[in-house]
Amino acid sequence: MKRANPSFPPLARCAPLAVTSSVFVTAMETAASAGTDSSAADSRLGFGKKEFGCRHYRRRCKIRAPCCNEIFSCRLCHNESDSVLHELCRQDVQRVICLVCDTEQPVAQVCSNCGVNMGEYFCDVCKFYDDDVDKGQFHCNDCGMCRVGGKENFYHCQKCGSCYSVVLRDKHRCVENSMRSHCPICYEYLFDSLKETRVLNCGHTIHRECFEEMLEHAQYSCPICSKSVCDMSKYWKKLDEEIAATIMPEDYRYKVWILCNDCNEASEVFFHIIGRKCSHCGSYNTRSTSPPAMPPQLNSS
Ligand SMILES: [Zn+2]
Ligand SMILES: [Zn+2]
Ligand SMILES: [Zn+2]
Ligand SMILES: [Zn+2]
Ligand SMILES: [Zn+2]
Ligand SMILES: [Zn+2]
Ligand SMILES: [Zn+2]
Ligand SMILES: [Zn+2]
């Protein structure tokens, strides 16, 4: 069985663990070479860049968790810590500790004591710091949080309730709050997941890696609504050919009723071991069904 080759553009992720390798020159770095006066201050800002941080983020500060008053390298370090059983609300962080000079202070991009950028990328809303600007972080007001992948590559779909690739603009089926749900495979909440998410043909969403696992198991229908996950026309054509080449024995030449998972129409077709094709849309994504109730008799007088 040949595997279909769906290619869905990605949705925006929440700040990820992985670092992209693309070269990305920020406006700040370009500006740094402009004046000589500002270059001293700029080199101070850049001091220690990417030299500090945790396994999640390169950054030059730690945060004081507002919930337990403990100090952590980042929000994720807090959430993964064995000593805490709650999640840190990123917006609530109020104090940070500069890792260059060890000064605790209110949240800001530049350390009030030593003048370094505690994060090359800084979001005042999320209290988020990151020195790896290659990720293309941006804050989406509608999502209410920072995402990665480059602001220019994403737009916020109001109906689906999340940032989607611009490639998907007017090219996906909107499902109300599609992203404010759990992955149907691993049940992780998708909206602030750190993993990449894909949108299926039906508009339902799923982690990219969970989706790929599904395809590996030859599962081509949405776990939520059973519709085909992508354009299957090439695959259906192959099945047409296989069916044409495989004549069923006389005893099996009877008709069955099927319901199409793609167009929701019922049809009566010849049984075939390879597949049963919807007579309305041509999909093989069908299941057996009972014959429809008899249409009401016409009252002919
Ligand atoms: Zn961390
Ligand atoms: Zn400092
Ligand atoms: Zn933000
Ligand atoms: Zn958004
Ligand atoms: Zn949408
Ligand atoms: Zn998943
Ligand atoms: Zn679906
Ligand atoms: Zn159909």
Protein residues near ligand 4, an ion, with CB under 5 A: 140, 142-143, 156, 163
pLDDT for the residue 127: 97
The H or E element that residue 187 is part of is none
Task: Measure 115 CA to ligand 2 centroid, in angstroms.
Answer: 6
pLDDT for the residue 238: 95
CA distance 118 to 134: 16
pLDDT for the residue 26: 31
Task: Measure 123 CA to ligand 5 centroid, in angstroms.
Answer: 26
CA distance 188 to 80: 15
Task: Measure 205 CA to ligand 4 centroid, in angstroms.
Answer: 15
pLDDT for the residue 84: 83
pLDDT for the residue 28: 35
Give 146-164 pLDDT, tens digit per residue. 999 999 999 999 999 999 9
Ligand located closest to 119 CA: 2
Give 135-145 pLDDT, tens digit per residue. 999 999 999 99
pLDDT for the residue 142: 96
pLDDT for the residue 27: 33
Concatenated DSSP letters for 20-85? Answer: -------HHHHHHTT-SHHHHHHHHHTTTTTTSB-SS-B-SEEEE-TTT--EESSHHHHHH-TT--
CA distance 279 to 282: 6
Ligand located closest to 145 CA: 3
Task: Measure 204 CA to ligand 3 centroid, in angstroms.
Answer: 25
Task: Measure 232 CA to ligand 7 centroid, in angstroms.
Answer: 15
Q: Give the chain's count of helices (H) and strands (E).
A: 5, 16
Domains and CATH numbers, the chain: 1-11+151-227 (3.30.40.10), 27-135 (no CATH), 233-288 (2.20.28.10)
Task: Measure 10 CA to ligand 6 centroid, in angstroms.
Answer: 14
Ligand located closest to 143 CA: 4
User: Residue 90: exposed, middle, or buried by beta-carbon count in 10 A (0-12, 13-18, 19+)?
Assistant: buried
pLDDT below 70 — which residues of the chain?
Answer: 1-38, 294-301
Which distant-in-sequence residues (6+ apart) come within 8 Å of 2 by Cβ? 235, 238
pLDDT for the residue 42: 80
